[in-house]
Amino acid sequence: MPRVNYRSYEVDEMARMMRAEAEGEGKQGMLYVGNVIINRVVAQCLDFKGVTTVHDVIFQVQGGNFSFEAVQKGNVFYQRSRTSERRLAQKNINGWRDHPAKFALWYFNPHGPCPPTWYGQPHTGQFKEHCFYEPKPGTCDSVYKG
């Protein structure tokens, strides 16, 4: 049973996002980006209230900009998704999660050491160039369910 409801075009959008954000970090890095996308659909707290679909997450605007750099810079659709990325996206949709992104709602590439917090949220770990952050305890319990 999928962790979130989805439409087929969202698998493609998610696969393209995962590739655009983390292709250089291999399949594992792309899966971690997928964790964050699905966690944001599930979260219904903080910045993600009312963001209820994969499509909503990918194209969410915060502070006047798209949330994801790949969308801001317009390269989310730089190439079509490949079968391998669609399989990874489907794996995330179906419930695959792992540390350090298991409960993460944010990630970024600091081009240096990961700070212990990011906008007050605790660092959960790093994979290659990306630092992952999950919500402070008690601020977004829904992300820890399902």
- Convert the pLDDT of each residue in 61-73 to its tens digit: 998 999 998 888 8
DSSP structure string for 38-99: HHHHHH-SGGGTT--SHHHHHT-EETTEESSHHHHTT-TTSSPPPHHHHHHHHHHHTT---T
Average pLDDT over residues 21-49: 96
- pLDDT reported for residue 76: 66
Cut 0.85: pTM above it: yes
Domain locations along the chain: 8-144
Amino acid identity at 73 = K
So what CATH class is 8-144? mainly alpha
Backbone angles phi and psi of 101, in degrees to 5:
-105, 10
